Amino acid sequence: MALKYLIDENVNPIYPNQIRLREPNILIKVVGESETPPKSTLDPEILCWCEENNFVLVTNNRTSMPVHLADHMDNNRHIPGIFILNPNLSFGENLQELILAALASEENEYQDCIVYLPFP
């Protein structure tokens, strides 16, 4: 079973568009789409939505996301994972990392973890 991704609203829309084109079996949702948190939703609420719906969050937020995850876990909550895009990788490299992770990962492999692309 492929990982499911919630793409943060500040991530370039080319990412969900290209993943949908290249791997239509990967379920991708974007903040602000129907059945997702609306745009401008605070990060702690997005983490709750990801937990409740079993989606890995894909974001550019390197600064506050580790703090939000720690707070989330301090409240005895969990998250399927957070993937942070790497500004030093090309679009294609980041995209390939996301596709490979979605197709090759175990369901709970990244639970309560932040992964900074590329994968080790």
Give 104-119 pLDDT, tens digit per residue. Answer: 998 889 999 999 999 8
Of 45, 41, 77, 55, nearest to 2 (Cα)?
A: 55
* Per-residue pLDDT tens over the stretch 38-58: 999 999 999 999 999 999 999
**Cα–Cα distance, 62 to 34 (Å, whole number):** 26
Please return the burial class of 32, using the count of CB atoms within 10 Å of its CB with bins 0-12, 13-18 and 19+.
middle
Give the predicted TM-score (pTM) of the model: 0.96
Q: What is the domain extent for residue 40?
A: 5-116
Take residue 107 and report the two structure tokens written for it.
């369901």
From residue 5, give the alpha-carbon distance in Å to each of 35, 58, 74, 76: 13, 7, 23, 22
pLDDT classification of 1: cutoffs 50, 70, 90 = low
Domain count, the chain: 1
Q: DSSP letter string over 33-65?
A: STTSPPTT--HHHHHHHHHHHT-EEEE---SSH
* Residue 65: predicted pLDDT: 92
Q: How far is residue 118 CA from its own chain's centroid?
A: 14
Q: Is the pLDDT of residue 5 over 90?
A: yes
